[in-house]
Structure 1
Amino acid sequence: MFVVSTLFILVGGLILWLLANSYRGGWSITCRVSDVSDENHEHLEFLATYVMPLVFTDVESKRTVLNLALMIVAIGAIYVKTNKFYSNPTLAILGFKIFKATIHDRGEKQFVVICRGQLTDKSVIRYIRIDNNTCLAKLDK
C-alpha cells in the first residue's frame, strides 16, 4: 500500500509541475473586473457533502473498499462533468480563492475566477481560460 501511495504522490507532483509549466505563458492582457462575489463556501460544501462521509467509512472488508472506490470515482466524474472541479478544498490549502466576477476584456463576460489574493471590484488581473466559464487569474500590480 505504501508503494501505491508513493506512486500516486509522485504522479500528482508530476502533473502539478506540468500544469504549472503549461500556464507560464498565455496570460491575457490586463483586464478590469467588476461585480465580484465570494464563492469560497464551495470548499466547505465539498468537504461536508463528500469527503467527511468517506473518511469515516470502515474499510475492513473487500466489499466496503470496492464501494468506497466506486463512490470516489462517481464523485470525481460528477464534479468533472458539472465543471465544479474548482471547488476542490486542495485549492484552498494552496492559497487559491474562488470568486464570481465580470471580466471586461473585449466585452463583458461573467466567469468563475480562481486566484490567489483578494479580488475586489475594480481589481486588475491577467487570466487564462480553463473552460468556457472558469478562468485562472493573477492580480496585476
Structure 2
Amino acid sequence: MKQIKLYIMSLWILFVLVLVATLNIPVSFDSNATFVGWKMLLSINNVVAFLCILFILMGLLFYYQFNYRLKGAPDGLPIMITKIENINYEYVSLFMTLLSVIAFDFNTFRGAILFFLVLLILGAIFIKTELFYSNPSFALLGFYIYRVETGHMDIISNGSILIARGKIKCRDKVNYIKISETVFYCQKSKIRNK
C-alpha cells in the first residue's frame, strides 16, 4: 500500500498538467451570470479534471502521512549512512514517459478511460520493478534520491534506495519508513552524529 501511495504522490505534476488541459467551466462575466447546469459541469473533460483534483489531494494527504510518521514513529532507530550516491538523474526517463500520456484526447469517454488505464499499467510496472521513486515530481518537492550503504545490512541492505527530503551525506543518521525491500522514505535524524 505504501508503494501505491508513493506512486500517486509522485504523479502530482502529471495531474496538474491534465487538470489544466481538461478543466472546462464556462463562465460568463456579465451582469447576467447564471449557473451553467450540472450536465455542462459534469462533462467528460471535467470528470477527468475532478478526478485529477482528487488524486492531487490524495497525494498531499499521503505526503503529510509519510512526514507525520517519520516525526512520530519511524520503522526503527536511526541508521548511519556509510556510503552514498546521488541518483537524481534517473528522473528524466520517467518524465518523458509521463508527458506522452497528456497526448490523449480527453474530450471522449474512450480517451479518459485510456488515460487512467495507462496510469494503472504504468503504476503496476513501476511498483513491480520498484522504479516508482524515480519521478521528477519529487525533485520539485525538494526530495533527493540516493543509493546507499549502511552498517546495518539486516535493515537497509547495500544498494538500497533512499527517498529523502533534503540533502543527506555520508555519516548522517536517518529515520526511515520501509516502502519495499530496497526502497525507503527517510529524513535526516535529529540525533547528533558521533
TM-score normalised according to structure 2 size:
0.60
**Deviations 1:70-120 (CA, angstroms, capped at 9, x unpaired):** 211110111112222211222222111001010113767211111123233
Of the three residues 5, 10, 20, the one matched with 2:57 is 10
User: Residues of 1 paired with 2:138 and 2:165: CA distance?
Assistant: 10
Shift of 1:130: 2.0
What is residue 145 of structure 2 aligned with on the other side?
98
Change (3 A) 1:22 1:121: closer
SS of the residue corresponding to residue 185 of structure 2 reads: strand
Which SS does the other structure have where 1:85 is aligned? Answer: coil
* 1:62 corresponding residue in structure 2: 109
Between the aligned residues of both structures, percent identity stands at: 23
Checking the alignment, whether the CA contact within 8 Å between 2:174 and 2:186 is kept in structure 1 is: yes
1:122/1:133 Cα in 2 relative to 1: closer, same or farther (>3 Å)? same
Q: Match for residue 161 of structure 2? A: 112
Per-residue deviation at 1:138? 1.9
User: Larger Rg: 1 or 2?
Assistant: 2
Contact 2:74 2:175 in 1 (8 A): no
Give me the CA root mean square deviation. 2.6
Say which structure, 1 or 2, has more relative contact order (CA 8 Å, 6+ apart).
1
Q: How does 1:1-141 map to 2 (within 5 A)?
A: 1=46, 3-23=50-70, 24-26=72-74, 28-48=76-96, 50-105=97-152, 109-110=157-158, 111-140=160-189, 141=192
Matched length = 140
Structure 2 gaps, min length 5 = 1-45
Q: Could you list the runs of 5+ residues in structure 1 that have no partner in the other structure?
A: none
- TM-superposed CA distance for 1:131, in Å, is 1.8
Are the equivalent residues in 1 in contact too, given 2:175–2:186 (CA < 8 A)? yes
Give the TM-score of the pair, scaled to structure 1. Answer: 0.78
From the two aligned structures, give the one with the greater strand fraction. 1
C-alpha distance in structure 1 between counterparts of 2:113 and 2:81, whole Å: 46
